[in-house]
Structure 1
Amino acid sequence: MATFITFNIYLFYGLVFFAIGCVVVFRHFKYSQLSISSTLWALALFGFSHAFHEWSELYVILFQDDLPAQYQYIVQWLRLIKLSLSFAGLMIFAWLLFRIIPKPYSKFGQLLIGLIVITYTLVMLFFYQGTSILADTFSEVASYTRVLLGFGSATLAGIGIAIYGYQLRQDNHEYGQYFIATGFGLFLYGVLAGLIPTSFHSSVPIFRTIAAGLVLVTLYKALKIFDIEKEAATEAKLKRAIEADKYKAIGHLAMGVAHEINNPLASSMLALDLLERKMPQPQSDLSDYIQRARLGIDRASIISKELLTYARSDLTDTRKVFICDVITGAKQLLSHKLSGYSLSVHCDSKAVVIGQKVKLEELLINLLNNAMDASGHSGSIDIRVVADESGVVIEVRDYGEGMDESTLKRATELFYSTKPIGKGTGLGLAICEQIVNNHHGWMKFMSAKDVGTRVLIEFPSRSNTND
């Protein structure tokens, strides 16, 4: 009866750890934004290796008396190695955890891990004094292994994952509580497996199994967030695909409309010019009406040209373009608007991009226009350009009204604008994004209400060249 109970305890004990490894392995981390996703492979390694250790311990417990005397020493060695390697996986997990949590916890945790590993290595070297001595002290070495590696790794891993869960709770993520509970389960298991020997009481393996079960359940709950992230990423990808098809159709339609509307707009502008010339004498009322009509036609013409620019995304006739020259050209074209603003420019003379100067000028003009609109009738605008081996980075910063989180997410959305009707078309930043993409770069916005906006643009080294 005792053998039957022992068999089932250890069988279930190993099964729990095997399930912990499976819980990690069968989660989808590809689309995850959580920093802990890069550390969980070590936890899975611990789960599988510890399950193997416990199942093999079951074999030794049941059949130890039947093992030939010449194999006893080898079996003891293998038991020690299995135990050390299984806890080493948990120690690696703890080390990786303390790399992603903030200071000073990270430095302190890594220091403790280093001290534990060094101490355990010294202990092993002390006991390794010959075959006969080592054979007589296997139980003592195993005890040190459980205390230093078992209790140490489980405690540190528990603390690390609990701190990570607490951070998530601070950021209003409810699933952080499950990471905290997982940390408590690991700490409890570390106490039972590392500080309390199996020989203390026959119920010790049962309590270890319960602690491991707590880790399994809470970890399963905590890692469900990765499935939620995958579903959200899939939905977002599907939504982007639908929107891409919609915008593609709108683009073709807009291109045709913009192309067709330019001719009547030009004819209307010509008719207004002829009408103004044929007026016998200056008439303020008629001149005012003509001017209003001309402004309306100009605006319609600008919108049609922006639509054509957005629709024509091909990049042809590329050459070496100095970013400092692009900034100078943009400043000259906007000199009438920039006169009321404080513009600071710091440009690396080595900053060179392979592309079209006119497109890059259009990119900078759109960003400066947005910065001026956000800053009101005056304000400070900074342009900073840095070049190195990795590429060219352009930063445009204003200190205006800024954008909230919802506006920031839609900043480059086609036809989206927060400007009053008649002031913005919602095409400027969409065109900017397209120009950057066509030059093999990326663009990032950082903004907050009443703080201002930073726009970072990076063109990688493959688009950079030197004289």
Structure 2
Amino acid sequence: MVWDFILYLLYGLAFFTLGVAILSREIRLSELGIARIIWLLALFGITHGFHEWLEFLEHLSPTIKTPAFSLFRLGVVSVSFMLLLYFGLFINIITYYGDQALKTTPRSVKAIIGFSALTLILLTTYLDMGTGRATVTRIFVAFPGGLLSGIGLMLYSRTARTFSKKVAVNFILAGIFMICYAILTGLIPSQVVVPFFHIKVIFFRSVSAFLIMFFTIRALSVFSLEQHELINERLLRFSQSEKLTSMGILAAGIAHEINNPLANVSLNVEMLKDLTGDDERIARKLKAIERNSARAAKIAQELLHFSREKETGLEPVDINQVITSSCNLLQTHGQGPEINLNLQDVPEIDGIFWKLEEVFINLLMNSIDACVNEDSIEIESFVQNNTVTVILTDTGHGIHEKDLFKVFDPFYTTKPVGRGTGLGLSVCYNIIKQHGGEISLVSSEYGGTVVTVSFPVADGKTMGEQAGER
């Protein structure tokens, strides 16, 4: 009796601790897909732990085993296994379709999955009501639910690996013992004594429950690592923004100081042309001076664009029109990579058309310069969570990893001397920030670059609201 008391106490406590540990985590700001469904596993742990204590109470006091008590216990265990089944289904959806899968999955699909699972649970509970034991529920709900949850945790380790290999290992081990628990609980009756060990199966269930709790709690550190990474990223962006602001103030002064002598140079060159007559040698020298002064003037003009403060007068802008216009303007660029557009119907954003056009012309020019005729460029636009996102992908030569953090710095360029000033992406960064947007760049030295630009929807309105206004 003492042994049973300790066993059931620890068995229920392991699951109850699992549930409390998950619910006590601060995961509201997490972007990980598992953060949206982990509460299902937490509620499973709490309800299933409570059920094990009810079962022990039944063993401790046989007189309490009335039809009403048995029905109540059956209801508790059915609810716990229902939560486990839902967790198993959803974590596999996230694993196969990405962390944003639950946001993008149509409600009708979610409703069908939820209704089918609920129907199965109600049916198995009804079939078990005659005996008061959850035999059918364990086979048709607990086993598949535990199996799907275990497989999902193991596969989700691939996402966790981006944060830490140790966290990924904990997900794998939690998944393995969840599968063990699914077999021990779903397929093997509680009265069975395991051969060779001569120990009831309840002991191995308890061990599995403890190991699930232990490794899952260790795996939850993925949320802390994610928050740490997000904080570092925001600090880096803040530092970048501060640096660009300081550079903008400096650039404005430099540009104005440069423009005055350049204007004087241009005037004197025009005068010298009239004085030199037809001397070709002097004409070539003057042409070189004129060409280089024009280049210096262009750099000064880009410095002024870079340093310009935020402008007022934002208007609703269709980002798809901006992209199409930018592509049309570059049609005269000559032969180059094929540009494919995959533009979805997106809501308008608050912006300045010509400045946004400048952003996409700069981005497209960079992609074109990085590509050869056999390469391709794809531009995709879509809306998600009141944010309009544009993804520009090219298959050209990429950027070395050590240079990625410098691409938005003024005067940094990978182009040969004379082909780039290094201010294009800095200007883009500044304009996008003025519009309240974000820009990120992913590339590899082995080829291919992906630029993601996102803007808030105009006035925070959804696409449906904008369509209604039209």
Q: TM-score range by the shorter chain?
A: 0.7 to 0.9
2: CA distance, partners of 1:47 / 1:343: 54
Q: 1:177 maps to what in 2?
A: 169
Q: 1:236 to 1:261 in 2, by over 3 A?
A: same
Q: What SS is found at the alignment partner of 2:134?
A: helix
Any unmatched runs of 5+ in structure 1? 129-133
Q: Residue 182 of structure 2 is aligned with which of 190, 208, 222?
A: 190
Q: Which moved more, 1:191-200 or 1:314-323?
A: 314-323
Q: Is 1:230 aligned with 2:224? A: no
Letter in 2 for 1:287: A
Q: 1:292 maps to what in 2?
A: 288
Cα shift at 1:90: 0.9
Alpha carbon RMSD of aligned pairs, Å? 4.4
Cα shift at 1:211: 0.8
Q: Is 1:57 aligned with 2:49? A: no
Q: 1:131 maps to what in 2?
A: none
Q: 2:275 maps to what in 1?
A: 278
Q: Residue 147 of structure 1 is aligned with which of 139, 146, 166?
A: 139
The question of whether the paired residues in 2 share the 8 Å contact of 1:116 and 1:148 is answered with no
Any unmatched runs of 5+ in structure 2? 102-110, 194-198
Residues 161-193 of structure 1, C-alpha deviation per residue, up to 9 Å, x if partnerless?
223336877999564333222121012112222
2: CA distance, partners of 1:387 / 1:192: 46
Where do residues 334-345 of structure 1 align in structure 2 (5 Å cutoff)? 338-341=333-336
2: CA distance, partners of 1:385 / 1:21: 41
The question of whether the paired residues in 1 share the 8 Å contact of 2:259 and 2:297 is answered with yes
Cα shift at 1:289: 3.1
Q: Is 1:366 aligned with 2:362? A: yes
Q: 1:395 to 1:33 in 2, by over 3 A?
A: closer
2: CA distance, partners of 1:211 / 1:356: 60
- Structure with higher Rg: it is 1
Q: 1:309 maps to what in 2?
A: 305
Cα shift at 1:266: 1.6
Cα shift at 1:93: 0.7
2: CA distance, partners of 1:364 / 1:453: 15
Q: Is 1:257 aligned with 2:254? A: yes
Letter in 2 for 1:421: V
1: CA distance, partners of 2:387 / 2:28: 27
Q: What SS is found at the alignment partner of 2:413?
A: coil
The question of whether the paired residues in 2 share the 8 Å contact of 1:13 and 1:51 is answered with yes
The question of whether the paired residues in 2 share the 8 Å contact of 1:28 and 1:230 is answered with no
Letter in 2 for 1:158: G
2: CA distance, partners of 1:254 / 1:462: 31
Q: Residue 77 of structure 1 is aligned with which of 58, 65, 71?
A: 71
2: CA distance, partners of 1:245 / 1:386: 29
Q: 1:13 maps to what in 2?
A: 11
The question of whether the paired residues in 2 share the 8 Å contact of 1:94 and 1:156 is answered with yes
Where do residues 40-439 of structure 1 align in structure 2 (5 Å cutoff)? 40-65=38-63, 67=64, 72-102=66-96, 118=119, 120-126=121-127, 134=130, 137-138=131-132, 141-165=133-157, 175-201=167-193, 203-279=200-276, 281-318=277-314, 338-341=333-336, 355-375=351-371, 400-403=396-399, 411-439=407-435
Letter in 1 for 2:216: L
2: CA distance, partners of 1:13 / 1:438: 57
Q: 1:460 to 1:32 in 2, by over 3 A?
A: closer
2: CA distance, partners of 1:272 / 1:331: 36
Residues 198-226 of structure 1, C-alpha deviation per residue, up to 9 Å, x if partnerless?
33346433322211122122223333233
Residues 332-373 of structure 1, C-alpha deviation per residue, up to 9 Å, x if partnerless?
6x68x624557769799x998764443244334323432442
Cα shift at 1:424: 1.9
Q: What SS is found at the alignment partner of 2:169?
A: helix
1: CA distance, partners of 2:25 / 2:301: 49
The question of whether the paired residues in 1 share the 8 Å contact of 2:128 and 2:137 is answered with no
Q: 2:104 maps to what in 1?
A: none
Cα shift at 1:48: 1.6
Cα shift at 1:416: 3.1
2: CA distance, partners of 1:456 / 1:145: 47
The question of whether the paired residues in 2 share the 8 Å contact of 1:46 and 1:89 is answered with yes
Letter in 1 for 2:122: T
Q: 1:205 to 1:252 in 2, by over 3 A?
A: same
Q: What SS is found at the alignment partner of 1:199?
A: coil
Cα shift at 1:82: 1.3
Q: What is the TM-score when the length of structure 2 is the normalising length? A: 0.76
2: CA distance, partners of 1:170 / 1:328: 38
Letter in 1 for 2:78: S
The question of whether the paired residues in 2 share the 8 Å contact of 1:315 and 1:355 is answered with no
Q: What is the TM-score when the length of structure 1 is the normalising length? A: 0.76
Aligned residues: 442
2: CA distance, partners of 1:38 / 1:320: 33
2: CA distance, partners of 1:194 / 1:383: 49
The question of whether the paired residues in 2 share the 8 Å contact of 1:146 and 1:195 is answered with yes
Q: 1:370 to 1:214 in 2, by over 3 A?
A: same
1: CA distance, partners of 2:206 / 2:237: 47
2: CA distance, partners of 1:149 / 1:387: 38
